[in-house]
Amino acid sequence: MRPGNSVNLNYIRNDFLGNKGVSFALLIVLVLSAFLMATGAMVMERLFGAVDQLFEEARPSHFLQMHKGEYDLEALERFASQHPEIEAWHVQQMVGFDGKTLRWERPSDGESGDLSQSLVDNLFVTPNREFDLLVEKDGTVPEPAVGEVYVPVSVQQSQDLRIGDRLELSSGGTVLEFQVAGFVRDAQMGASLAESTRFLVSETDFTDVEAMDGGRPEIIVGYRLDDESAVPDFQRAYESDAALPQQGQAVTIQIIRLVNAFSDGPVALALVFSSLLLITIALLNARFVIRGTLEDEVREIGAMKAIGLSDKAIMGLYMSKYRALALFACLIGGLLAVVATNLLTQSVQANYPEAPPSPATFLVPVGALLVVYSVVVVICRRVLGRIRKIEVVGSLVHGTTQSEKQTVRRARREARTVRRTSLTTYRGGNVSRRLAVLDLRLEAGQWMLIPFVFFLASVLMTLPLNLFTTFDSPRFVTYLGVPETDVRADVAFTDDADAIREAMVADMAEDDRISGTQTFANVEYQIEGEVGWEGLGVEIGDYGSNSVRYVDGERPAEGEIAMSLLNAEKYGLGTGDELTLRRGEELTTAVVSGVYQDLTSGGLTAKMQGEVPGGADAYVVYADTVGGADAAAIASEYGDRFQSADVVPMREYVRQTMAYVTDAFKRAAVLAFVFGVGVALLITCLFLKLRLASDRPKMGMLAAIGFSTGEIIAQVRWKTLLAAGLGTGIGLAFAAVLGGPFVGALISMAGLGISNLAFIPNPWLTYVAYPLVLIAAGYLGALLLTARLRGADKSMWIRG
Q: Which of the residue ranges 264-268, 342-346, 737-741 has the most confident prediction, judged by mean pLDDT?
A: 737-741
> What pLDDT score was predicted for residue 4?
55
Residue 410: pLDDT over 60:
no
Q: What is the DSSP letter of 358?
A: -
pLDDT tens for residues 152-184? Answer: 988 888 888 999 999 999 887 888 999 999 999
> What pLDDT score was predicted for residue 382?
85
> What pLDDT score was predicted for residue 142?
92
Residue 138: pLDDT over 70:
yes
* Amino acid found at 468: F
Between 511 and 662, the more confident residue is 511
95-109, 471-485, 529-543, 749-763: least confident range: 749-763
Residue 631: pLDDT over 80:
yes
Between 80 and 282, the more confident residue is 80
Residues 521 and 498: their CA atoms lie apart, in Å, by 10
Widest CA span in the chain: 101
Which among 703, 714, 708, 715 is positioned nearest to 794, based on CA atoms?
A: 703
* Amino acid found at 172: G
Which among 456, 114, 54, 462 is positioned nearest to 263, based on CA atoms?
A: 54
**Please, are residues 251 and 189 in contact by the beta-carbon 8 Å criterion?**
no
65-74, 277-286, 510-519: least confident range: 277-286
Report, as an integer, the average pLDDT of 614-638. 87
> What pLDDT score was predicted for residue 752?
58
> What pLDDT score was predicted for residue 405?
57
> What pLDDT score was predicted for residue 15?
66
Residues 460 and 411: their CA atoms lie apart, in Å, by 38
Residue 105's alpha-carbon distances to 148, 153, 163, 180, 208, in angstroms, are 14, 17, 11, 10, 21
Residues 624 and 477: their CA atoms lie apart, in Å, by 14
> What pLDDT score was predicted for residue 94?
93
* Amino acid found at 573: L
pLDDT tens for residues 660-718? Answer: 677 778 877 888 898 889 888 988 888 888 777 777 777 777 777 777 778 778 888 88
> What pLDDT score was predicted for residue 412?
55
Between 762 and 274, the more confident residue is 762
* Amino acid found at 548: V
pTM of the model: 0.74
> What pLDDT score was predicted for residue 8?
66
pLDDT tens for residues 545-571? Answer: 766 778 888 889 888 999 988 888 888
250 forms bridges with which residues in the sheet?
65
The dihedral sign for the CA sequence 602, 603, 606, 612: positive
Between 424 and 533, the more confident residue is 533
Between vectors from CA 364 to CA 360 and to CA 367, what angle results, nearest 5°?
Answer: 135
| pLDDT over 70, % of the chain | 84
Residues 123 and 747: their CA atoms lie apart, in Å, by 31
pLDDT tens for residues 63-83? Answer: 999 888 888 999 999 999 999
Q: How confident is the model at residue 770 (pLDDT cuts 50, 70, 90)?
A: very high
pLDDT averaged over the chain?
81
By residue count, the chain amounts to 800
| pLDDT over 90, % of the chain | 20
Between 135 and 271, the more confident residue is 135
Give the list of residues 6+ apart from residue 20 with CB closer than 8 angstroms, or none.
none
Q: How many CB atoms lie within 10 A of CB 182?
A: 16
Residue 409: pLDDT over 70:
no
Q: How confident is the model at residue 389 (pLDDT cuts 50, 70, 90)?
A: confident
> What pLDDT score was predicted for residue 480?
67
Residues 389 and 747: their CA atoms lie apart, in Å, by 46
**Please, are residues 101 and 170 in contact by the beta-carbon 8 Å criterion?**
yes
528 forms bridges with which residues in the sheet?
533
Residue 203: pLDDT over 60:
yes
Report, as an integer, the average pLDDT of 105-123. 83
Q: How confident is the model at residue 393 (pLDDT cuts 50, 70, 90)?
A: low
Q: How confident is the model at residue 188 (pLDDT cuts 50, 70, 90)?
A: confident
The dihedral sign for the CA sequence 453, 459, 461, 464: negative
Provide the CB-side half-sphere exposure for 235 (13 A, CA). Answer: 22
Report, as an integer, the average pLDDT of 100-106. 89
408 phi/psi in degrees, rounded to 5: -65, -45
